[in-house]
Amino acid sequence: MEHPKHQIRAAHTDTTVTVYQAYAPHIGEPAARDGRFPAAWRRERMTWIKPSFLWMMYRCGWGAKEGQETVLALEISRAGFDWALAHACLSHYEPGVHEDAADWKRQLKQAPARVQWDPERDLRLRPLPHRSLQLGLAGEASRRYADEWIVSVTDVTETARRVRESVAAGDLDGARALLPEEPVYPAGDALLAHLRP
């Protein structure tokens, strides 16, 4: 199945969307236990959320990279996610989207969120032709994310391990059956027009 090059695909309900992050156990374990980030989580730092499970696996090496051993699925409000998209700026200058480089720099400085489109990944973590959204949250967006948008936090490290083991054993159908369903997220052209290169 072919996908448009820039399209958000994510597990979602009528009111929530699931994104992924990976942390060291001292952050990830209490977050999953308590349903919120612990005091050690820094609101002043930019935090990147990813709606694609497989892109998160690529980024964290199936939860094996140092400091990314605990993989979290965070269910957040769609209202919050859409707010972040509406207030985001592309992380790089794109002719046709921005008037000029100076315009992009102004937008980037003011925006509380930024967007990167990176190649989506297959089960072997190889790049695919279409892109996956990475959404960076800073300042107001980061605070809203931590304090208002999170509905639930689930530790999915064991799922990551099981998918990795199935792939390593050559059981791609078994691995695929473990993946979360990530249908097209109904963001709409108006919400994404300023974020599509």
Q: What confidence score (pLDDT) does residue 193 get?
A: 84
Instruction: List all residues 6 or more positions away from 119 whose beta carbon is below 8 Å from its beta carbon.
Output: 127, 128, 129, 130, 131, 132
Cα–Cα distance, 83 to 141 (Å, whole number): 9
Q: Which of 82-86, 95-99, 168-172, 187-191 has the lowest mean pLDDT?
A: 95-99
Q: What confidence score (pLDDT) does residue 95 get?
A: 77
Mean pLDDT of the chain: 93
Q: Which residue has the higher pLDDT, 191 or 162?
A: 162
Does 160 have pLDDT greater than 90? yes
Does 103 have pLDDT greater than 80? no
Does 5 have pLDDT greater than 90? no
User: Would you place residue 3 in the very low, low, confident or very high pLDDT band (cuts 50, 70, 90)?
Assistant: confident
Which H or E element spans position 115?
strand 113-121
* pLDDT (tens digit per residue) in 26-39: 999 999 999 999 99
Q: What confidence score (pLDDT) does residue 100 get?
A: 74
Cα–Cα distance, 95 to 104 (Å, whole number): 9
Does 96 have pLDDT greater than 80? no
- Cβ pair 136, 116 in contact under 8 A: yes
pTM over 0.85: yes
Q: What confidence score (pLDDT) does residue 1 get?
A: 60
**C-alpha dist (Å) from residue 21 to 64, 75, 153, 155, 190:** 13, 11, 10, 10, 27
Q: What confidence score (pLDDT) does residue 75 get?
A: 98
Q: What confidence score (pLDDT) does residue 85 get?
A: 96
* pLDDT (tens digit per residue) in 41-91: 988 889 999 999 999 999 999 999 999 999 999 999 999 999 999 999 988
Q: What confidence score (pLDDT) does residue 56 get?
A: 98
Q: Give me the mean pLDDT over the 136-151 stretch.
A: 96
Does 152 have pLDDT greater than 90? yes
* Residues in a beta bridge with 161: none
